[in-house]
Amino acid sequence: MSDIILETQGLTKHYGGVHALTDANFTLQAGEHVAIMGDNGAGKSTFVRQITGVEIPTRGKIIFDGAEQHFENPMDARDAGIETVFQTLALADDLNVPDNLFLGREIVKFNLGPFSILDYKAMREATMAGLEKTAVKIPNVNNTIRNMSGGQRQCVAIARTATFHSKLTIMDEPTAALGVQETAQVENIVRTLKEAGEPLILISHNMRQVMDLCDRIVVFRRGRIVANLRKEETDGQDVVAYITGAKTQPEYDYEAS
Ligand SMILES: Nc1ncnc2c1ncn2[C@@H]1O[C@H](COP(=O)(O)OP(=O)(O)OP(=O)(O)O)[C@@H](O)[C@H]1O
Ligand SMILES: [Mg+2]
């Protein structure tokens, strides 16, 4: 059995004339934590939207968990075992915190034919346990998401990934809106995933965080992957050189080929 959990081949997304993502060949090994870095507009979130069913790629292949996938919506990807914290958070504004965590996978107490009774107590307890891991203070989890700060929303989304085991976790700039303490807690959640052997794709502009948490760094520039760097073989300055285009890896020199 191959221990590649995710592979993309020639993954491409055009929005009309905008080539947001071109020919991305990406692999992720079981248990591996990979950072995706790149300037604003480099195509990082576009890549994530293609592999999580938010959008349908223009072309290319997605192989996840040993099979080619054609996710048509985010629930398909989630059902397959991909848990994602999106940059623009995919939370339901009008629902409270437990309802957001359990959206689509409610705990059922009784199932009486078409009628089911949900176990609100169990969901609330699991929610509190998940939130505790993020250290964020949410005065009342029964408030709807609409009334929460950006950081509180982010932590609800992260608590969701910490509550449910998944085959792959993707976080798109999870700590961009967080304070110092909350960031440290989220980084601890990432370390816990690593210890549990669960693979992760982390999009981040924070070099210190990436160097602390990830095994490998993949750099995107103008919609293309331009570097694939093992952490031991690189440093912050080197990564920045690829991000800005000052440096090119020979295998990613598109002009030369
Ligand atoms: N729905 C869309 N329609 C048209 N263009 C889009 C759309 N979504 C993204 N783009 C464009 O695609 C490019 C890549 O955007 P993307 O959001 O993937 O960047 P990013 O690397 O995630 O940047 P950031 O670090 O700012 O989050 C940008 O030029 C952006 O303007
Ligand atoms: Mg983005």
Let me know the angle formed at the C-alpha of 36 by 33 and 41, rounded to the nearest 5 degrees. 160
pLDDT of 30 above 70: yes
Does 192 map to a domain?
yes
| Closest residue to atom 4 of ligand 1, CA basis | 15
The response to whether residue 20 sits with its C-beta less than 6 Å from ligand 1 reads yes
Closest C-alpha to ligand 1, atom 28: 41
Long-range pairs, 19-22, Cβ under 8 A, ≥24: 19/223, 20/46, 20/223, 21/46, 21/47, 21/50, 21/57, 21/223, 22/223, 22/224
Structure tokens at 241: 């050189």
Q: Which atom of ligand 1 is nearest to the CA of 16?
A: 4
In the predicted model, what is the mean pLDDT of residues 127-147?
77
Domain extent, residue 51, equals: 4-91+168-252
pLDDT single digits (tens) 212-250: 999 999 999 999 999 999 999 999 999 999 999 999 988
State how beta strands 168-172 and 4-15 pair: unpaired
Percent of the chain scoring above 90 in pLDDT: 53
| Residue whose CA is at the smallest distance from ligand 1 atom 7 | 15
| Residue 13 Cβ contacting ligand 1 at under 6 Å | no
Lowest mean pLDDT among 6-20, 59-73, 165-179: 165-179
Predicted confidence band of residue 253 (pLDDT cuts 50, 70, 90)? confident
pLDDT value of position 14: 97
Q: How many domains does the chain have?
A: 1
Q: Could you identify the atom of ligand 1 that is nearest to the CA of residue 39?
A: 25
Q: Is residue 197 part of a domain?
A: yes
Give domain status of residue 113, yes or no: no
Residue 101, pLDDT > 60, answer yes
38 in a structural domain: yes
Closest atom, ligand 1, to C-alpha of 43:
18
CATH code, domain with 76: 3.40.50.300
CA 177 to chain centre: 15
Ligand 1 in reach of 111 Cβ (< 6 A): no
176 Cβ inside 6 Å of ligand 1: no
| Predicted local distance difference test score (pLDDT) of residue 104 | 66
Q: Copy the structure tokens of residue 215.
A: 């095994």
> Mean pLDDT, to the nearest integer, of 53-74?
96
Which atom of ligand 1 lies nearest, measured to the CA of 87?
27
Q: Is residue 191 part of a domain?
A: yes
CA of 43 to the centre of ligand 2 (A): 7
Q: Is 46 in the pocket of ligand 1 (CB under 6 A)?
A: yes
Question: What ligand 1 atom has the least distance to the C-alpha of 205?
Answer: 25
> Domain for residue 257, yes or no?
no
For residue 118, is it within any domain?
no
Domain annotation covers residue 17: yes
Going from the Cα of 86 to the center of ligand 1, the distance in angstroms, rounded, reads 13
